[in-house]
Chains A and B, each alone.
Chain A
């Protein structure tokens, strides 16, 4: 069994897929590419692939990683070209590397994501107003919001966003839109969603935006350790 790690992208029409739909789309690509992918045993065998993260509906990714188990070691460029020739627009395999089959799962190590968030300006605003919002957020010691669990009897948890946003948020205004550069760190308790950060900035820090008008594009995903970001290929 060979474990191949691929860097892939999700954008265009595919950015509107949920994680489950995206995963199914990737499975079809792999079947059409006729790769010797492994399946689990049992009554309901499933393809042995896994992703670094679960990207939500509307979230595009310049880069995402996936692992797949192959029964034979096919040269990486061959896998990439076979997959890309069978992909709908919006998916591409960008790079790949065979990794140790005992390497930890992608989900377990990928803990830092960088996003670009975009949304239309609400009303008239200036760059300095945006900067004031961001400075206020970046200098706050603690920024909390209440998370209501839908699964767990509407239990309320208080989340401190600053535990997850460990680098200052930067941003600018261009053609009527706000652009923010945000890194999100995943702790043992989990991560926060980009939409949550956008909402908190809007409601608590006067970000001149609309809460429900934002698109997230993930520009990078890393292993964050001792203040350094490492590529998921470096394992």
Chain B
């Protein structure tokens, strides 16, 4: 993929625009990213970013909810949105000749969403239902507790969905204020990828988004997490027959030079994974933890999760304990692998494998304009789109010594929170 074809500019109102033409299929993907996520929420209003995302589908005067939904679907388009700790993103992927609708819709709902009391009330029960569905999963309950124990001060402390009590008590005014404060052009990035010419696309974006007034920069809500001084442990009891273990280590932020060695470390320990929300991972049956946990018949399965985030977040390993095994055995085997990663640098073959896997997964993800749209916007949230375009080069530069050094920094017991889910029917 040529690297010189990305166009990036900033409009006078502060809106960042990233464009890339891709002419392989008659489709286009349009994204708007806002620098707002659960980390911007104060106590009592947790979950407001996610709820605001839901409300953004409730319509404006120009685009009532039903009519937009219909307009997007009628042409075969797909649209959705997602909220995470650092950001909220909206996208439409459409037949290329229909993409203008996405621009109109997104420019309009950046300022004109209605937030009627009735819609707020009906969405409250939908979100409670979404939370109850998540609570049906033991791994959700466990992650939520581990995350809360790992962050005492930093607002990464709470779940994106928010606490039940806040979902029950937040008002229309709370949600609308959150929307008005954060949905401003100087806090947003628009990305278009697909089968279009960039000059008319930029002109159209200027025409539609350029008129949205700049407002106060909401800024980041920053309360750095103090260094952890010793292992934290969480015990959770719940229904089911299966026990789960989660170990979560404070890990470098995406812009930290240590982040790329961390990607290689994750790949060696838990298998290659993609940050892309649309999947594209490969199997991990030759990873160190598969050999140590699954081939030894201690765990039925496991996953490693390294998140690329604005502030330092967590690197976590989650294991489902086999019915004929025990939590303590899984934890001991995990500890042994973490000790090994700290004690010895990885073999050159392991390093080479991690790099080739990343190259292949990049090639796969470039097949889809939605994937590319995700990547450019995500990289802009973290840093600049070049974070994505230079990703493979920076990964290539990682040495075995880098990996060991970062392992020694991250994988210590004092830097982690360990969670146990103990089933009542086990």
A binds B: no
Q: Which residues of B contact A (CB under 8 A)?
A: none
Q: Which residues of A contact B (CB under 8 A)?
A: none
